[in-house]
Amino acid sequence: MRVLGLETSCDETAVGIVDDGHTVLANEVATQLAAHQPYGGVVPEVAARAHLDVIDELVRRALATAGLTLADIDGIAATCGPGLIGGVMVGAMTGKALAAVRKLPFMAVNHLEAHALTPRLTDRVAFPYLLLLVSGGHTQLLRVDGVGQYRKLGGTIDDAVGECFDKGAKMLGLGYPGGPLLEQAALRETTLPFPELPRPMLGRAGCDFSFSGLKTALRQVIDKAGRAAASPDFVTAAARAYQAAIADILSDRARNALAIIGEDNSSPVTALVVAGGVAANQAVRARLTETAADFGLGFVAPPIALCTDNGAMVAWAGLERLRLGLTDPLDTAARPRWPLAAGDT
């Protein structure tokens, strides 16, 4: 069984093809970095037009890479939300058109579910597992009991962790995209001391996150430093301290979630899994590896190329749903908001 997946929820146009042998047959991605860099962030209208410009060519390229034609595809999956609605509609309409022309089943994929199920593609992780979903727009802890079966244990009460990384990088003059640039800056050598930054919510009960106070604290240290804040040593020390605070927050909240799971009467989880763009951060991975080990669990993070938005993850989520007979009509609407867990808003 082979499924083609399309992803256009933000600023990456992506088309992937996977099969039920857990093989990624194609994973084509067109980035829009150059288009958005002058604005320091993603401009929705620019993103939607860029998706339109390249998506047909990416479908052709993905099929060529896989050595297939549409006649070899068993289903079409497309992200139908959540995301920037103009972009989501580009991928959703393209997927519906392909499904209609070839008379193939169509799977409307929740972008968050695509991230959530990626570890099953790459590492064959068995249900249930604890998922830390960390990206530019989302920060959640979820118990994943099966396809479409998610229980939210906690989420951010203000900013997403990816946004926190990006805003910190912007304050330090590192540019866009901020998260990867801040991580690179933190790896440089420096002996400059840096004030301890706060870790909001650390040690509190529950599994919710907060990052706005950390951003404010960094802003205050930068303002106090004045011109010295522009020095390479200051930027490196600040990036390292900021990244460490974020990793500590994520670890603390995951520990609480694992403790809660251990205390209830449901079956134990098989692993601690991280997914989403921030899952590419090596400091975060290292910290969560320690966290999982403390609970006698394995830690799973997808390969870097499958952490950020990609078509293979959408294709896999579509394949998982297709195997269960979970297909969708071609009039399924694109959705700017689409909570993953039942009862979430």
Give the pLDDT confidence of 245-284 residue by residue, as tens digits: 999 999 999 999 999 999 887 789 999 999 999 999 999 9
Residue 329, in any domain of the structure: no
Query: How does pLDDT run across 213-252, given as a tens digit for each residue?
Result: 999 999 999 999 999 999 999 999 999 999 999 999 999 9
Same domain, 173 and 112: no
Residues 312 and 252 in one domain: no
Indicate the number of domains in the chain: 2
What is the Cα–Cα distance from 69 to 256, expressed in whole angstroms?
A: 48
- Residues 225 and 171 grouped into a single domain: yes
pLDDT, one tens digit per residue, over 85-139 is: 999 999 999 999 999 999 999 999 999 999 999 999 999 999 999 999 998 889 9
Residue 264's identity, in one-letter code, is D
| Residue-range definition of the domain harbouring residue 16 | 2-118+305-323
| pLDDT greater than 80 at residue 147 | yes
Q: Are residues 268 and 222 in contact, defined by beta-carbon separation less than 8 angstroms?
A: no
Q: Quick one: what percent of the chain has pLDDT higher than 90?
A: 89
Asked if residue 202 is part of any domain, the answer here is yes
Same domain, 319 and 277: no
The average confidence (pLDDT) of the chain is: 95
Looking at the fold, whether 197 and 249 belong to one and the same domain comes out as yes
Whether residue 171 is contained in a domain is answered as yes
pTM of the model: 0.94
CA distances from 231 to 156, 172, 262 (A): 32, 10, 47
Choose among 266, 272, 189: nearest CA to 233.
189
- Would 63 be classed as within a structural domain? yes
The answer to whether residues 198 and 275 belong to one domain is yes
Plot region of 167 (φ>0 → left; ψ -120 to 50 → alpha; else → beta): alpha
247 and 167 both lie in a single domain: yes
Q: What is the pLDDT of residue 345?
A: 64
Q: What is the CATH number of the domain that holds 105?
A: 3.30.420.40
pLDDT value of residue 303: 95
Based on the fold, state whether residues 12 and 106 are members of the same structural domain.
Answer: yes
In this structure, the answer to whether residues 112 and 160 fall within a common structural domain is no
User: Is the same domain home to 296 and 310?
Assistant: no
Same domain, 156 and 294: yes
Residue 188 belongs to a domain: yes
Pair 316, 185 in one domain: no
The string of pLDDT tens digits covering residues 155-185 is 999 999 999 999 999 999 998 889 999 999 9
